[in-house]
Amino acid sequence: MHYTLTFVHEGYGRATSFGNLFGDTYIDTPSPYGNTTRRANATFVILARNSDLEGTVQSIREIEERFNRHFQYPYVVLNEQEFTANFKERISVLTRAKVEFGLIPHDDWFQPEWINEDKAAAARTQMVNENIIYGGIVSYRNMCRFNSGFFFKHQLLLPYKWYWRIEPDVHFHCDIPYDPFVFMEDTNKVYGFTITMYEFEKTIPTLWRHVLDFIKAHPEYIAQGNSMGFLSGNSGKTYNLCHFWSNFEIADMDFWRAPAYQAFFDYLDRQGGFYYERWGDAPVHSIAAGLFAKKEQIHFFNEIGYEHQPYTHCPRDEAVWRRGKCSCDRTQSFDYDGYSCLRKWT
């Protein structure tokens, strides 16, 4: 379930870096959302397998140290197989917060019966021959489809509105002395990110065509003041491949549960692209947030230092970096990399 992104294909390679990509315009999140008694209706969400135990321990220890020991938000940990008693014990001891372990329903995880397996297998073989990362892996596709359309419907998550997605083997490099959930709630945000980059086009060759078909069929779902300018350089004729890297998300599950996204996901799912191609939850979530929300409802968490190999977001502003006691090298932040889409967002 957890797949460390190593970008073995040259299309995922690190593009030429350049240091002066942005002006000094970062504004960190306002401070009235500190360690008060108020809490949002929120939880952390972790997808992990039993084999991800050590990486999950690491991630939880770091988010506890940097944030949650002060705020005590609960955790929901999901797996398509039952967790072992050892896994549950090792995770539960790390926090005073509530921890729940859930089994993903079979039909929410595994490849649907209506998928033409011969067609899907041929597509996987072709991707393997073209050296496309995860091109031959069915379980990766299961994960992307689950994250796109089902996790927020899980019985353990239905009581919650907000979630913060965490994966095994990630790092949180800066102290977070305020509550991002309360900030999102009070400022009418629906989606927050730390890293944005280009998708590998060969994994989603027909996705944008289907997005345009959906827009044509459902113009009522498109928000005024949306982020089409981030997704496309020609008013939507083509997709520029920019997306928010969804292994970090702080977002509103009611946004995914709403009619616009439900109709969007159901339409995409019927096209079979999660299996006939290799559609990821990152472009699916990003396109949906970019179209169905106002741009002002999407937030860049500059001050949250975050690392998922091989990329790190580190605050550039020295005052923010020092205030957060950040352990990352701010001169090496992925924000400045040519493969980053942050310049298109800002």
At 28, the pLDDT band (50, 70, 90 cuts) reads low
CA distance 173 to 70: 16
* Residue bearing the bigger pLDDT, 21 or 317: 317
From 29-43, 106-120, 173-187, the region with the lowest mean pLDDT: 29-43
Span 263-274, average pLDDT: 98
**Distance (Å, rounded) from C-alpha 238 to C-alpha 163?**
31
- List phi, psi (to 5°) of 134: 60, 15
pLDDT over 90 for what percent of the chain?
89
Place of tokens 């969007």: 264
Show Cβ contacts of residue 259 under 8 Å, excluding neighbours closer than 6 positions: 221
- Residue 29's pLDDT band (cuts 50, 70, 90): low
Active-site annotation holds for 199: no
Higher-confidence residue of 296 and 20: namely 296
User: Does the pLDDT of residue 342 top 50, yes or no?
Assistant: yes
Q: Whole-prediction pTM value?
A: 0.91
Tell me: pLDDT of 10 over 80. Answer: no
pLDDT digits (tens, 9 = 90+) for 30-65: 455 565 689 999 999 999 999 999 999 999 999 999
Cis, bond preceding 283 (omega within 30 deg of 0): no
Nearest Cα to 247, choosing from 134, 155, 171? 171
With 90 as the cut, is the pLDDT of residue 17 above it? no
Q: What is the pLDDT of residue 84?
A: 98
pLDDT digits (tens, 9 = 90+) for 144-164: 999 999 999 999 999 999 999
Active-site residue identified among 64, 249, 303, 307: 249
The pLDDT tens digits of the residues spanning 81-102 come to 999 999 999 999 999 999 999 9
Structure tokens at 224: 């005024």
Determine how many CB atoms are found less than 10 A away from the CB of residue 3.
Answer: 15
Region 129-149 average pLDDT: 97
CB–CB of 180/304 below 8 Å? yes
- For residue 233, pLDDT over 80 is answered with yes
- Which pLDDT band holds residue 249 (cuts at 50, 70, 90)? very high
Q: What is the pLDDT of residues 276-329, one digit of tens each?
A: 999 999 999 999 999 999 999 999 999 999 999 999 999 999 999 999 999 999
For residue 346, the model assigns a pLDDT of 79
Q: Across the chain, what does the average pLDDT equal?
A: 92
Q: What is the pLDDT of residue 31?
A: 53
**Range in 20-29, 38-47, 112-121, 259-268 the model is least confident about:** 20-29
Cα–Cα distance for residue pair 57/2, rounded to 1 Å: 13
Decide if pLDDT at 120 tops 80: yes
Neighbours of 307 (CB within 10 A): 21
Closest CA to 89 of 64, 57, 62: 57
Confidence of residue 5 (pLDDT cuts 50, 70, 90): very low
